Amino acid sequence: MSPEVFIYSTAVLYGISTLHYLLYLIFRKEKLATVGLYSARFGFLTNLLAVIFLIVKDGSVSLFTPKGAFLLFAISVVTVYLYFSTKHKLSLSGAFLMPWATLFAFISSLVSGAPKEVFPVGIVGMVHIVSAFLGYSAFIFASLLSILYLIFENHLKKKKFSVFFQKLPSLTLIESVIYNSVALGFFFITLSMFAGAVWSEKVFGTYWSWHPKQVATLISWFVYAGIIHLYLYGEWRGKRFCYLNILGLFVIVLNFLGVNLLSSKDVHSFKG
């Protein structure tokens, strides 16, 4: 079966989830959030099937194509969202995160999935790319939750009785979830870097080549290492911690889109 069927289904289901979460943000009806949640869950399943059928059709190297990359990004975002929203009942965050998953799935349905070149991926290569996207997604979740924290904190200060009062836990718990998400992302991006180095040596004969993607990922690693250090030892808590995570989002966007779009035609490039 063609992966395109599941890709289109995923984009539709994520779109339905996004719509209902946005309506939930406006009308505050729990049934809307429930539809959003189950649409996200069913979309996760079709997203997973799309990845599997893409690999069956074109091989695991297809994950290094724009289609495969955006498919992995979509399912990684939803995985992180479903984990934290289920554990901490953060349904409101769906209105901020599911649009990203919808966008990635939609882009995946439009771009190419044909590998530019065939090279061995193997288990190490799979670990490298999957852990990278899980790390990126955890950082995105942390940054968007940071925006929610700042909005909620501002409404508390101005005594605005909005949806944030009814649908979000305490600021302390939100901050804890943000840190846990950053720590999770840092773990996965570290794993991705080590796996990438081992995989690179096996395929290209070198652990490090100063490729722009390697440099950008290393910069991202240092940025988030600094954020974690400032939080734990510099006592950059609350609003300052949230501002740091929003800054981190721009670093991740530059890493994923900027480098992949601007780099030469190689394994990390989105150019045909």
In the chain, how long is the greatest CA-to-CA distance? 60
Q: Give yes or no for residue 271 having a pLDDT over 60.
A: no
Q: Provide the pLDDT confidence category of residue 115 given band limits of 50, 70 and 90.
A: confident
User: What pLDDT is stored for residue 121 in this prediction?
Assistant: 85
With the C-alpha atoms ordered 141, 147, 151, 152, is the resulting torsion angle positive or negative? positive
Classified by CATH at the fold level, domain 1-115 comes out as Four Helix Bundle (Hemerythrin (Met), subunit A) (1.20.120)
The residue assigned the tokens 């734990």 is 232
Give CA–CA dist 209/178, Å, rounded.
33
Model pTM? 0.92
- Mean pLDDT throughout 159-163? 68
pLDDT at 272 over 50: no
Task: Tell me the C-alpha distance between 73 and 255, whole Å.
Answer: 13
The pLDDT score that the predictor gives to residue 235 is: 84
> In the predicted model, is pLDDT for residue 213 greater than 90?
no
Q: Give pLDDT, residue 166.
A: 67
pLDDT value, residue 257: 72
* Domain range list for the chain: 1-115, 119-272
Say if residue 114's pLDDT is above 80.
no
| pLDDT digit string, tens, across residues 34-92 | 999 999 999 999 999 999 999 999 888 898 888 999 999 999 999 999 999 888 888 88
